[in-house]
């Protein structure tokens, strides 16, 4: 732990405390200050001026990142008949119905995303209590309950990102791996930022974008300059 602490302190010395950095510099610093030997995730924390406890001030959505997430995404699909074949042709890792439910009930959760056709939701509901708390339940609001199975599978395999504000008004998201490099990570982030700004609730008053911090999984946080980000939705 002492060695890891030394690496963290060394990484933190590269960042001026309290300074806000432009997006290009922020992501360069986040990548350079990632202290671990493994390919760390690059994460962003966005503080929004919303009362997320109010149903009309929820901020959520799903976007396809231009450079993906930099990792293999395992996708399962609940479908039958022609839609089962469509899912397999699009690259789904596992496709089925009651057989998938039985595997999940048996403790199998080796996947990142679950998609279902609308007619399969009665079957999927049997494992809702397992999938729901883990954020794996197919949901029409983020496009994972759909008849457009093929395109949805392809988007998820490339690295579609679901985002949602928590009860405290914070939004946390992983936008890729360190190995993507600062430029591609910045592109991914600006795509997310644009979607978050466009999702501003009409009932939200005052300052909407309050704070943004980027960091690697094990690295120090880098504060971001907000004025540059305000134009991301345009």
Q: Which residues of the chain carry a pLDDT beneath 70? A: 1-4, 232-234
Residues whose CB falls within 8 Å of the CB of residue 129, separated by 6 or more in sequence, listed in order = none
Q: Looking at the structure, tell me whether residues 59 and 169 fall in a common domain.
A: yes
The string of pLDDT tens digits covering residues 32-78 is 988 888 889 999 999 999 998 888 998 988 888 888 887 788 999 99
Residue 92 sits in the same domain as residue 144? yes
Domain identity same for 151 and 87: yes
Looking at the structure of the chain, the number of domains it has is 2
Say yes or no: 79 and 60 in one domain: no
Residues 177 and 65 both lie in one domain: yes
- 109 belongs to a structural domain: yes
Question: Which one, of 200, 161, 184, lies nearest residue 51 by Cα?
Answer: 200
The per-residue pLDDT for 1 is 37
Domain residue limits at 56: 16-69+160-229
pLDDT for the residue 233: 58
pLDDT, residue 2, reads 38
Nearest to 48 by CA among 56, 38, 40, 57: 57
Judge contact between 46 and 21, C-beta under 8 A: no
The pLDDT assigned to 187 comes to: 94
Q: Does 91 fall in a domain? A: yes
> What is the value of pTM for the model shown?
0.71
């Amino acid at each position: 732990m002492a060695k890891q602490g030394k690496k963290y302190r060394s990484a933190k010395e590269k960042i001026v405390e309290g300074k806000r950095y432009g997006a290009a510099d922020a992501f360069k610093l986040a990548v350079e200050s990632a202290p671990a030997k493994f390919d760390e995730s690059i994460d962003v924390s966005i503080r929004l001026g919303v009362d997320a406890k109010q149903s009309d001030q929820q901020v959520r959505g799903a976007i396809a990142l231009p450079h993906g997430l930099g990792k293999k995404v395992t996708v399962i699909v609940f479908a039958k008949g022609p839609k089962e074949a469509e899912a397999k042709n699009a690259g789904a890792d596992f496709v089925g119905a009651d057989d998938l439910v039985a595997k999940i009930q048996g403790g199998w959760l080796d996947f990142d995303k679950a998609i279902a056709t609308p007619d399969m939701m009665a079957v999927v509901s049997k494992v809702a209590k397992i999938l729901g708390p883990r954020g794996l339940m197919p949901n029409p609001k983020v496009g994972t309950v759909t008849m457009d199975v093929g395109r949805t599978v392809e988007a998820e395999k490339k690295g579609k990102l679901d985002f949602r504000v928590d009860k405290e008004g914070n939004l946390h998201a992983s936008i890729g791996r360190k190995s993507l490099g600062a430029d591609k990570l910045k592109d991914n982030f600006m795509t997310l930022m644009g979607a978050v700004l466009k999702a501003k609730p009409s009932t939200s008053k005052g300052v909407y974008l309050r704070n943004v911090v980027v960091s690697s999984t094990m690295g120090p946080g880098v504060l971001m300059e907000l004025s540059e980000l305000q134009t991301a939705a345009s």
